[in-house]
Amino acid sequence: MSHYVHQVPGRLRIRSRAFNCNPSKVRQVESRLKETEGVLDVRHNSRNGSLTIQYDPASGAEPLVLGALTEAGCLPLAKRATPPGSHITAAFGKAVVTALAQQTVARSFTSLATILR
């Protein structure tokens, strides 16, 4: 099953075919999320099969929302626990590895040029 997840602090939107084909599940998930402390609003769009959750980012509700959605099968397991700022850490790590690889290649060419002289 394909999922589309978009998240900004305070708002999470998930689009999934499951929201179109199982209305009773959607109602269960909606009511559970509405009972979660820090959740301000939950809206289901049956036309495009999406669920939008508005929450107070300062309340600490994000992990509870993600956990409830994952438990209900609305989110893929691999997507659920991305720590804040991890994309920055990954980008930094990639930049470091790229810089090291470029430096290694440059040294190899210098060494090769010295040997061939």
Distance linking the first and last C-alpha atoms of the chain:
60
Tens digits of per-residue pLDDT, 15-60? 877 777 777 778 888 888 898 888 999 999 888 888 899 999 888 8
**Cα–Cα distance between 91 and 18 in angstroms, integer?**
33
Same domain, 26 and 47: yes
Q: Can you give the pLDDT at residue 40? A: 94
Which of 79, 14, 77 lies closest to 44 in space, CA to CA? 14
Same domain, 13 and 28: yes
The model's confidence at residue 88, banded by pLDDT at 50, 70 and 90, is low
Tens digits of per-residue pLDDT, 68-80? 877 777 766 544 4
Same domain, 75 and 116: no
Which of 35, 42, 34, 40 lies closest to 55 in space, CA to CA? 40
Same domain, 31 and 88: no
Number of domains in the chain: 2
Same domain, 68 and 94: no
**Enclosing domain of residue 37:** 3-79
